[in-house]
Structure 1
């Protein structure tokens, strides 16, 4: 019998451990080399078959040092993290692993089910402060569940959007890929719009009492410029993040975000398939342990905000 989404979130972690052929597929796909085109194609074929076998059930797995319950259906992030975690933003994760201090402040804006936030928490110490911000109510519930399965105690989940103004805003939900829901891009399906509370980035940061921000991952589907422009204009320089991982929404931005960041003392240090990575001048250069240089990287506790 098919269980409701609500009941799936109440079952103890481990209830949906991979078994049988699905377990074999997960073990096979997570070992495929991340730079091999044929391996990626094989992973997609195996993933599709495993999803058919699951018939709507989630899977409970450990990824990036954290427990997660993943629903690999209408969310590309969960599909990648479940079946091919090695393909999920590997350079971005290496940079964070080298940069985040034990007492770091890290903001995961557009947190989805928490892959970045949980990865950072697994690396950092108990003095870290990590915010995971996600506006979609059902995706937020998955995020909160994943946070609760781990002992870190350093992640605070906030159920709101981050925008250029505060208030109730319309979020256009992509039913095929929930990770592409946006305040800016109108969805194609009728009824695929919801109202969500929103705050500005500066109000969010001030509300938490932060005096510095070590790193921000900003993935808000084309609205990154709307978030960053007022923040950089109004926030004191002490609050400007040392490292910015920004989803590449160049075709959707209304401003030249790279030029804006350059005026505020940032330089682009990498471009990956999905993201642009900026570093504030005066921050540490690439650590030797990453094995990369800017020239070589040019290709591809839960609170609800009222």
Structure 2
């Protein structure tokens, strides 16, 4: 995929230089409560009296045009990205660093504006690795923001899929949350109108993926059905080596985690909202 040119060009909507220096300094604040308080103050200063969008460079070699007032993850990316799913991103980076795949395949289900996908591209560039990313985002407005960030970062490694993810092929409509686009949900309708809903293995087929090294899945309530379909109907070669999936805060072991554990995954770490799972090594002839 060759990213389309960004208009107006990236940098046209940057912060004034003094604020940009302050914003960049916030990226070095300690990842503790004090650092969070300071970062929140910096973020407020950066946003005060300014309209969306803003052009920032939250990661090495990565540029983003952000709309922080309508999307919580974009607001976090304005300053202090070190607080955004740090353990999850570190686990994915470690998986990338230790992988022999060429290219490393990352599937981002519920990509939002692409922070996970762009992080993986940034890490691949740092490590000198080849990577292929498929970022799936059904919402038209959010997907346009994703495409703008891909363009700004010249991230030809990322292919964008405009469908939603579900248990089986069908159609869906978007139920929007205008205060936080990250909480948009898909209602599967079955009608002839709306956007496509596809199971994971069909998305892989359409993008010529024969394996998945790592996958992030955050599709607002459809995670269990989508993974159940993959485990039931997908070629085991497509089962990711590492999965990051939303686990919430309430249940000790949510059904989606139980599903993964039953299908040969081991829990690596539970973070504030997510679970990191790794596919257990398959027995070899010497083990049997």
TM-score (norm 1): 0.79
Residue 51, structure 1, aligned to residue 51, structure 2: no
Does 2:42 align with 1:61?
no
Shift of 1:15: 0.6
| Cα shift at 1:94 | 1.3
Instruction: Tell me the secondary structure at the aligned position of residue 229 of structure 1.
Output: helix
Corresponding position of 1:96? 92
Q: Superposition pairs for residues 3-14 of structure 1, below 5 Å?
A: 10-14=7-11
Alignment of 1:122-201 (within 5 A): 122-124=122-124, 127-183=130-186, 195-201=194-200
* Corresponding residue SS for 2:185: coil
94-103 or 232-241, which deviates more: 94-103
Q: Residues 76-105 of structure 1: CA distance to partner in whole angstroms, max 9, x if unpaired?
A: 111112211111111111111121245101
CA drift of 1:50 comes to: 2.4
From the superposition, tell whether residues 64 and 92 of structure 1 become closer, same or farther in structure 2 (CA, over 3 Å): farther
User: d(CA) in 2 for partners of 1:103 and 1:42?
Assistant: 39
Contact 2:241 2:278 survives alignment (8 Å): yes
SS in 1 for 2:159: strand
**What pairs up with 1:112-131 in 2 under 5 angstroms?**
112-124=112-124, 127-131=130-134
**1:173: Cα distance to partner?**
1.1
Could you tell me how far apart the structure 2 residues matched to 1:249 and 1:170 are? 24
In the TM superposition, what are the counterparts of 1:140-289 in structure 2 within 5 Å? Answer: 140-183=143-186, 195-249=194-248, 256-282=255-281
Residues 163-211 of structure 1 deviation map (CA, whole Å, 9 limit, x = unaligned): 11222212211111111111269xxxxxxxx943221111101222222
The CA distance in 2 between the partners of 1:107 and 1:281, in whole Å, is 19
1:18 paired with 2:19, answer no
Task: Give a deviation string over 1:208-248, Cα, whole Å, max 9, x none.
Answer: 22221100000112221121111111112111100000022
When residues 63 and 53 of structure 1 are mapped into structure 2, their CA distance, relative to the original with a 3 A threshold, is: farther
The aligned residue for residue 66 of structure 2 is 70
Counterpart secondary structure, 2:49: helix
Runs of 4+, deviation exceeding 3 Å: 249-252
Whether the aligned pair in 1 keeps the contact of 2:58 and 2:81 (CA below 8 Å) is no
* Contact 2:55–2:66 (8 Å) recurs in 1: yes
Q: Which runs of 5+ in 2 are unaligned?
A: 1-5, 283-288
SS for the counterpart of 1:210 is coil
The number of residues matched between the two structures is 264
Measured in 1, the distance between the counterparts of 2:67 and 2:92 equals 25
- Which structure 1 segments of 5+ residues have no match? 1-8, 186-193, 284-306
Distance 2:198 2:44 in 1: 38
Separation in 2, partners of 1:131, 1:270 = 24
Contact kept, 8 Å, 1:26 with 1:83, in 2: the verdict is: yes
**TM-score computed with the length of structure 2 as normaliser:** 0.84
